[in-house]
Structure 1
Amino acid sequence: DIIALPATATLLEAIDRVIAHGYSRLPVYEGTVDNIIGILYAKDLFRAVRSGQTGESVRHFLRPAYFIPESKRVDELLHEMQQKRIHIAIVVDEYGGTAGLVTIEDLLEEIVGEIEDEYDRGKQAVIWVSPDEVIVDGTMTIDDVNDLLGLHLVGEEVDRIGGLVLERLGALPSVGDQVELNGARLSVVATDGRRVRQVRVTRLAAPETQGAAE
């Protein structure tokens, strides 16, 4: 079931729903959930409440909803959402009703693979190629990769290294695809269908060494 708000809800009621479910974006409907009229962003909500507009209806703070058919391909939708910087899309069925919603995080997880429980992280293989290069699972967190090589990689909407590769490529990956950012090269070593299975991470420069040489 979709967690959504009626257009008649006040900002205070919306805050209760956001806190209860932990979502940063909620669809808002008029009448029934089959009539989505916009998306309420938590950051817009909290900004309005801080300015004292607690009794206002959420309809005054909506952003446009993005609608897609159920038949939309995952790779096409991922590229589309990245290009247009859209974080959430409403899925419409053949009758024009609301079938569900999808977030960019959902798409990346579908391609990269199921996100493992934090207690499974110790099982992830790390292959050291050299002191400046490792091959890791696509599901390893960006923070863990940063710790391994002393890097400063950051994802906009993802926290896994495979997701970071996809975020930068903006398309389904192939073995050999590469991206460079923040002093590192990320190369796709292996895939499993649409999923990134392994990534080679190469440190291109050591900031500490550069600073010491100056």
Structure 2
Amino acid sequence: MKRQELLNFLESQPTIQEVKALAKKLGLKIKKRMKKNEVYRMLKDYALQLQEPVQNVQSPAAEKIEDLPSSYGSDRLMLLAVNPHLVHLSWDLSNETRRKLSETGNVVVRLYDVTYIVFNGTNAHRIFEAGVDLGNCRNYYFHVPCANADYIAEIGYKTDETFIPVLRSNLCRTPSDSPATTSRQRWIIKGKKQVVTLGETLIQQIERINIFSPTQAASGGERR
């Protein structure tokens, strides 16, 4: 018997014989001299201990999440460093740009090494190129030879071996693949207010801050 059914039964003002019969049916121990209100209270306590069946109510947070769109139509080309010798290029194209590139039949992505230069589209140190199929991929990985270098990518198409860029990515710098190497070592010479670096004296001197006690300050102690 469910909780609500039992409570409804008790609210219907059953006779002493009916409540005792139901109590015995539910397996409750009934004494012969128990009064109606005592049996009634026992059944009510039993009803309150019953657990209601959990309803399969789906909360708003558990609603089905719609699949992410295949494209946001933002016409963006994003370049990120994976490690010192690997960069990841991904793109999000609008329908118009995708159609324009697909109609050429020769979609190409390019990666330029632009370390320490102002890139004008033609003066890169190195150029890496790969053909891509826009229908099957939305990203590409480039293995790069130089760590700690700056790279820029473009997506476009080729006509008669001439590359026509359509979108350009952000500037991406790969991390170093080794600790920084420098022969410059700085030492503080005891008793001298200067720093030397392998025989080279720095122009800027080190300012020394003297600490003295309040007793010295009260007696006019000299700072050294």
Give the TM-score normalised by the residue count of structure 2.
Answer: 0.17
Larger radius of gyration: 2
Give the TM-score normalised by the residue count of structure 1.
Answer: 0.18
More helix by share: 1
